[in-house]
Amino acid sequence: MAVRKNQASLTAKEKRDFVGAVLALKRAGRYDAFVSTHNAFIISDTDNGERVGHRSPSFLPWHRRFLLQFEQALQSVDPNVTLPYWDWTADRTATASIWDAAFLGGNGRSSDGQVTTGPFAFGAGGWTLNVRPDSRTYLRRALGSAVAALPTRAEAESVLAIQTYDAAPWNSSSEGFRNNLEGWRGVNLHNRVHVWVGGHMTTGMSPNDPVFWLHHCFIDKLWAEWQRRHPGQGYLPAAGTANVVDLGETMKPWNDTTPADMLDHTRHYTYDTGF
C-alpha cells in the first residue's frame, strides 16, 4: 500500500526520487497533459453551468482521481515514488525546507518573478512551460506577496468542524465543508494557498508548478480528516442534480469513476499520520 508522506519528513533520497520522476514525465511530454486537463476544466467549470473539477461538490473526488492519475504516472517512472503533501498550516514561510534548492526551489526573483533556484528553475534546463497563459516560458512564484499569510491550523480546524459536506446551489456560493475548504467562502483554505504561492499557481495552469500536487495532496488529506470526524455525513448531492456530479454519476474526463468510488482513499493509499 502506497503511503503519502508529509514533505517535511522526506529523506534527501525521497526528495530526489520525487523530483526525478516529475522531471522525467516532463521530458517525456507527459506532464503537460496534466496542465492542459486542469486548465480545460477550470475554464469550463462555471457556477451556473456544468461544473466538475472546481466550484462544485466533485472538487474533492475529481482532484483525488486527478492526483491518483498523476501518482500512477510518476510510479510508471519510479515505482517507489508517492505524492507527498504540504501541510501549509505548519510549514508556512518562504524559508521552509519545501522551497530549498534540493526540493522545489525557492521564491521568484523580484524583477520578473522567475524561479532561479532548484530543479524547476528555467535555467536548470528541464522545466520550460509549454501550456501557459502568456508569453513567459519560465516558472514564476511570488511567495506571500498577494496575501500575507497561509491558513492556520485553527482555521483549518474551523472548516473541518463543518458538518454538512456541501449544499445547494452546489457552487462557489454554497455553505458547507467543500466550499469552505475550496475557499470561495469563509476563512478560505485552498484558494488562498494558490494565491500565497503566486506566479503560475494563481493561474488556471497552476499544475505548471509542482507544488500544485503537494498542495492538493494536503487538501485531499483534509477531506479524509473530515470524513473521520463526521462518520455520519457523506458526499452530497445524492441524485438528480442538473449540471452537478451526483454521488453515483461518473466524472469527466475519465467517465469511469464516480464520487462514490473515490470516498475511501485507503483503497489506493494511506497517509503517514493518523487523524
Partner 1 sequence: MSQVTHASELTRRRMLQGAAVALTAAAGTVVLGVTGPAGGQATAAGPEASDEFDEVFKGRRIQGRPVQGGGHHHTAGYTVLVDGEELHMMRNADGTWISVVNHYQTYPTPRSLARAAVQELQGATLVPLA
Binding residues (CB under 8 A) for partner 1: these are 39, 42-44, 46-49, 55, 112-113, 132-136, 146-147, 169, 171-173, 183-184, 190-192, 194-195, 202-206
State the residue for C-alpha cell 499544475.
207
Q: Is 134 or 256 the residue whose CB approaches partner 1 more closely? A: 134
Please count the CA atoms within 13 angstroms of the CA of 46 that sit on its side-chain side. Answer: 5
CB atoms within 10 A of CB 237: 18
Nearest distance from residue 157's CB to partner 1, in Å?
A: 22
How far apart are alpha carbons 258 and 63 in whole angstroms? 12
Q: Is 10 or 40 the residue whose CB approaches partner 1 more closely? A: 40
Cβ burial of 12 (10 Å; 0-12, 13-18, 19+) is exposed
Q: Is 167 or 260 the residue whose CB approaches partner 1 more closely? A: 167
b/e map 34-61, b = 16+ CB within 10 Å: bbebbbebeeebebeeebbbbbbbbbbb
Q: In terms of Cα–Cα distance, which of 194, 218, 217 is closest to 206?
A: 194
Nearest distance from residue 54's CB to partner 1, in Å?
A: 9
Q: Is 64 or 132 the residue whose CB approaches partner 1 more closely? A: 132
Nearest distance from residue 3's CB to partner 1, in Å?
A: 29
Nearest distance from residue 94's CB to partner 1, in Å?
A: 19
Q: Is 23 or 236 the residue whose CB approaches partner 1 more closely? A: 236
Nearest distance from residue 76's CB to partner 1, in Å?
A: 28
